[in-house]
Amino acid sequence: MGKVTVAATVVCAAAVCAAAALVVRRRMKSTGRWARAVAILKEMEEKCGTPIGKLRQVADAMTVEMHAGLASEGGSKLKMLISYVDNLPTGDEKGLFYALDLGGTNFRVLRVQLGGREGRVVKQEFEEVSIPPHLMTGSSHELFDYIAAALAKFVATEGEGFHVSPGRQRELGFTFSFPVRQTSIASGDLIKWTKGFSIEDTVGEDVVGELTKAMERIGLDMRVAALVNDTIGTLAGGRYHNKDAIAAVILGTGTNAAYVERAHAIPKWHGLLPKSGEMVSYQYGMG
């Protein structure tokens, strides 16, 4: 069937549907059923709508839980985690950067050449890799070796338009979309696996350390410069393009959020206060 025939068929089908709907509507109006249908829809709309007062109660209750979660571990129903990210992108960044995004049955590797305020994103490339099911329940060694091998293969295709600054090692941002208890900007211990993963020997281990050892085993010269959650990566991307961005939300298997908090408003933070006076905090696993 040719494109013209297909287009004609679709148009005809749409016209028939519209005509049928019009006939049904006229018949319903004539019998009074249309008015009853409208009344039912209006009633549903009114009953399903959440009053502003109730929304404010929910927001207030969530704020209380967030503050409790920032005050102490286990002090809240919300898992409030500290990211160690005290500065977000400004748009002035220059150089070649790599990223690895692991958050499900696929992971993505990306490289981007940033040109500063004027050049912004000069060039970028990415690749998506599927994770074989047996690696999701195997060993930590096998999973991270597989990831490191795919990353090394991607780095090997680095072509024109990408260049590392003289004397600098390639840097990698590691987006790890599973709950971790971070101990620094570039280290964090896995709390638990989700999304179908079940690798016991990774729980409690530093995921950056696991990836670094895997890269060393294959001779990949790269340093993990930052470990972040997907919500923080989203927030960083938003701030790169809009200096007023202060929060990000992920709506997926769960609902996660990250926002910029005042560092002195995080009682469970025991390190030196950052010069920026801010710290990105994030909530994991709501809903």
Concerning whether 244 is annotated as a catalytic residue, the answer is no
Strand pairing of 247-251 and 222-228?
Answer: unpaired
Residue of 54, 77, 195, 268 marked active site: 195
Query: 241 — alpha (psi -120 to 50), left (phi > 0) or beta?
Result: alpha
Alpha-carbon distance of 244 to 167, in angstroms, equals 34
Strand partners, 173: 99, 226
Number of DSSP helices (H) and strands (E) in the chain, helices first: 7, 11
Show the tokens assigned to 12: 């005809």
Q: Are 254 and 284 in contact (CB under 8 A)?
A: yes
Residue of 101, 145, 206, 230 marked active site: 230
Show the tokens assigned to 271: 């390190």
Concerning whether 230 is annotated as a catalytic residue, the answer is yes
Alpha-carbon distance of 28 to 31, in angstroms, equals 5
What is the set of active-site residues? Answer: 195, 230
